């Protein structure tokens, strides 16, 4: 039994060994085997670097006579370790391609490197183009007919490379090879070197010799290319230039019905520069490749580059872009209805509609609210266009950078709060003054609807919504027609809910039944208005100083006192009290706004402030040149979204520890007051206002963060930037 077991085990082992030997014998040369071949080469034709071996190879053992004009081939073999890689002619987001300088003992003409089809190598949020494993970079050469033929020709290659995994290591070597001169023909098989099969195998990985042609056009965000494809496949375009497209973006392919013609949208690089009329790509599906040269579409004219109107897909893409911005603006207008500055005013109007359910208003009056909002936003757009034409640099929220405007809003909101508390002048001599207040809050007349819309826009101006930022940024830098369209979409979104309530009985039926509760609710709404005043006072302090805030607080107190007195007396006394109240509002606003100083309402003991450094373009450039991670926060005291993010995200302990790391720098740009440097920075990212958050990985990739932040979003972006710096560090 034991002998039978032994025989059986021996047979199984012998069979396994035989199968393994047969399998290994049938496999192509592996990286390890090629490294073994490298080891057998002369020392002068090979080199060892960290995590890589390199060698200079020849397809033939010798060089034949000059009368034979057939091209011969040399090759640079790059053999990195597992999980390490080298680069294609365009490394992508980071890295450097290998380069070689040639010298020879006789007159030889060396050609360009023949690059095999590369693979896309994702690293963090980057995409690079390169090669994993052994790669032979073939270079053609020919001997000039006038060359003297010694017995041996010495060729020298000064080689440099970059090999990367999570970090990158550069390498340099001088490689030499000596080839005897032969009078045999190139077709003589005896001339082939032992490395000839590697050359043959590499030729199968080279792109096709045919050059395809295409046309391209340029828009604000995309490079749009039209070409005919060799066959249907999952194609990708790899540009020769690294500053042409965003390598990590999804290429949008639009195939024609015949499957051969295609248009592709390529997102432009942040470093895009239009310096050539012709750009070159590699069209690859991973198995085969074709070189493609694209020329600028002359039919589009200069408009495709300068921003004017153009034809073909460019016009379609631009129309789609402005359409998307109109959608964002409309959604942003809807969101404005629930912002804390706006909701009390709209609640007042809803209460008035509920109380007037049984009333009979003319249909035309229902459009007053919509018209009031449209007119207000159109006036805002007109003001912006006039200021832009005059050369004034402006952004969204520019009016809130003026202390006088903040002071005026404080008095307006206090007046509304007093009106909600029924503290309204009631003298006969000032019926016009009190009548305006009634029109703004009660009734369903056209004037009431119109002025409610105007007031809603005024109180909404400090409240920005995340969906508005991109649309408003485009509006600020777009042609006048697009600016007006975007503000119109914003107005329509803002007006829609209340317009439906006043216009459609089905929506009006959703309002609660009128009753005594309405008076209590109306008075309650005074407190959100007063809370808004508290916030505006804090903004005012940041723009001026404590003396300026004292002026404003004193003015608000006396203003409220005079209006209260006006509500208790009648006739000339009431009129006089109102006039005094208006004088106090004007004088206190002016005096308070003039008190501009450096004192700030921010707490110096706050950890958030300890980490932060003031933003400047010079500081940002210095830190990026020193390969530091930089987090830029563009904010303002009057920006509600900014303050929410700072309390929710930037006060998080883990994020503060991340920001406090040695190679991480946190720059804060405070746009509470007018600042041209910050506006120029915002404009660079097509933003008209704050917030804006950008994370930089040294001088490399930059990442724009969402406008609503969590600590993890910021921490992840910083870690990705650190990983990129480690990856590209030399």
CATH class of 31-203: mainly beta
Look at the alpha carbons of 455, 457, 458, 460 in this order and tell me if their dihedral is positive or negative.
positive
Instruction: Report the phi/psi class of residue 120: left, alpha or beta, with left for phi > 0 and alpha for psi in -120 to 50.
Output: beta
Around Cβ 258, how many Cβ atoms within 10 Å? 10
H or E, element range at 172: strand 168-182
- Specify the CATH number of the domain 208-310: 2.60.40.10
Around Cβ 633, how many Cβ atoms within 10 Å? 25
Across the chain, which distance is largest between two alpha carbons, in Å?
Answer: 128
Residue ranges covered by each domain of the chain: 31-203, 208-310, 318-594, 607-728
- Rounded to whole angstroms, the Cα distance separating 220 from 627 reads 29
Give the gyration radius of the chain's Cα atoms. Answer: 36
| Cβ partners under 8 Å of residue 331, min gap 6 | 467, 493
- Rounded to whole angstroms, the Cα distance separating 250 from 247 reads 8
DSSP letter (8 states) at residue 205: T
On whether the CB atoms of residues 435 and 448 are closer than 8 A, the answer is: no
What DSSP line would sit under 632-683, residue for residue?
EEEE-TT-HHHHHHHHHTTT-HHHHHHHTSTTEEEEEEE-SS--HHHHHHHH
Q: Is the peptide bond before 691 cis (omega within 30 degrees of 0)?
A: yes
| Cβ-defined contacts of 641-649 (< 8 Å, 24+) | 641/464, 641/465, 641/466, 641/691, 641/707, 641/708, 642/690, 642/691, 645/691, 645/693, 645/707, 645/708, 645/709, 646/608, 648/709, 648/710, 648/711, 649/709, 649/710, 649/711, 649/713, 649/714
Angle at alpha carbon of residue 210, lines to 207 and 215, rounded to 5°: 105
Around Cβ 140, how many Cβ atoms within 10 Å? 14
pLDDT at 430: 41
Establish whether domains 208-310 and 607-728 are of one fold: no
Q: Which residues of the chain have pLDDT under 70?
A: 1-37, 39, 65-69, 145-148, 184-187, 258-259, 274-276, 298-322, 338-366, 387-401, 424-445, 459-478, 502-518, 595-610, 638, 640, 688, 727-730
On whether the CB atoms of residues 481 and 318 are closer than 8 A, the answer is: no
pTM: 0.45
CATH class of 607-728: alpha beta
């Amino acid at each position: 039994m034991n002998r039978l077991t032994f025989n059986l085990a021996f047979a199984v082992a012998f069979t396994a060994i035989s199968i393994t030997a047969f399998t290994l014998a049938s496999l192509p040369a592996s990286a390890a085997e090629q490294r073994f071949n490298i080891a057998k080469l002369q020392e002068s034709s090979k080199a060892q670097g960290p995590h890589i071996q390199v060698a200079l190879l020849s397809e033939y053992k010798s060089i034949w006579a000059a009368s034979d004009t057939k091209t011969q081939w040399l090759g640079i073999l790059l053999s990195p370790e597992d999980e390490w890689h080298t680069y294609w002619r365009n490394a992508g987001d980071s890295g450097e391609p290998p380069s070689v300088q040639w010298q020879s003992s006789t007159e030889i003409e060396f050609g360009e490197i023949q690059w095999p089809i590369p693979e896309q190598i994702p690293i963090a949020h980057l995409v690079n183009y390169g090669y994993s494993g052994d790669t032979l970079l073939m270079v053609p050469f020919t001997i000039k007919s006038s060359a003297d033929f010694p017995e041996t020709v010495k060729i020298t290659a000064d080689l440099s490379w970059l090999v990367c995994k999570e970090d990158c290591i550069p390498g340099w070597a001088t490689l030499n090879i000596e080839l005897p001169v032969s009078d045999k023909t190139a077709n003589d098989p005896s001339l082939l070197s032992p490395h000839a099969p590697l050359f043959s195998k590499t030729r199968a990985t080279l792109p096709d010799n045919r050059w395809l042609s295409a046309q391209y056009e340029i828009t604000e965000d995309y490079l749009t290319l039209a070409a005919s494809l060799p066959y249907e496949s999952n194609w990708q375009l790899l540009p020769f230039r690294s500053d042409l497209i965003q390598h990590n973006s999804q290429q949008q392919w639009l195939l024609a019905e015949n499957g051969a013609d295609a248009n592709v949208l390529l997102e432009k690089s942040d470093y895009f520069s239009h310096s050539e009329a012709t750009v070159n790509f590699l069209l690859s599906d991973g198995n085969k490749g074709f070189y493609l040269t694209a020329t600028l579409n002359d039919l589009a004219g200069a408009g495709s580059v300068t921003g004017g109107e153009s034809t073909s897909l460019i016009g379609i893409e631009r129309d789609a872009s402005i359409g998307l911005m109109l959608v964002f603006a409309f959604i942003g207008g809807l969101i404005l209805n629930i912002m804390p500055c706006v909701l009390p005013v709209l609640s007042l109007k809803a209460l008035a509609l509920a109380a007037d359910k049984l009333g009979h208003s003319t249909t035309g009056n229902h459009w007053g609210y919509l018209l009031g909002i449209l007119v207000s936003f159109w006036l805002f757009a007109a003001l912006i266009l006039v200021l832009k034409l005059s050369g004034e640099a402006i952004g969204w929220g520019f009016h809130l950078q003026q202390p006088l405007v903040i002071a005026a809003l404080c008095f307006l909101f206090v007046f509304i709060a007093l009106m909600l508390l029924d503290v309204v002048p009631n003298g006969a001599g000032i019926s016009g003054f009190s009548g305006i207040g009634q029109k703004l809050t009660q009734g369903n007349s056209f004037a009431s609807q119109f002025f409610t819309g105007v007031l809603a826009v005024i109180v909404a101006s400090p409240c920005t919504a995340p969906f508005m930022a991109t649309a408003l940024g485009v509006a600020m830098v777009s042609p006048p027609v697009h600016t007006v369209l975007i503000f119109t979409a914003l107005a329509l979104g803002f007006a829609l809910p209340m317009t439906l309530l006043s216009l459609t009985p089905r929506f009006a039926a959703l309002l609660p039944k009128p009753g005594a509760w309405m008076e209590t609710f109306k008075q309650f709404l005074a407190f959100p208005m007063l809370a808004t005043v508290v916030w505006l006072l804090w903004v005012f302090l940041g723009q001026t100083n404590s003396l300026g805030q004292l002026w404003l607080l004193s003015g608000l107190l006396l203003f409220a006192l005079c209006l209260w007195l006006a509500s208790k007396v009648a006739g000339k006394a009431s009129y006089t009290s109102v006039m005094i109240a208006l004088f106090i509002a004007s004088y206190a606003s002016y005096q308070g706004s003039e008190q501009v100083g450096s004192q700030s309402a921010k707490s110096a003991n706050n950890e958030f402030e300890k980490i932060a450094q003031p933003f400047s373009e010079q500081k940002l450039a210095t830190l990026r040149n020193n390969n530091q991670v930089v987090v830029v926060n563009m904010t303002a005291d009057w920006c509600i979204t900014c303050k929410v993010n700072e309390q929710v995200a930037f006060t998080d302990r883990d994020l503060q520890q991340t920001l406090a790391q040695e190679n991480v720098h946190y720059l804060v740009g405070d746009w509470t007051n007018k600042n041209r440097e910050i506006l120029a920075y915002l404009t660079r990212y097509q933003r008209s206002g704050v917030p804006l958050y950008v994370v930089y990985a040294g001088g490399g990739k930059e990442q724009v963060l969402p406008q609503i932040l969590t600590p993890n979003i910021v921490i992840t972006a910083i870690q990705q930037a650190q990983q990129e710096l480690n990856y590209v560090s030399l």
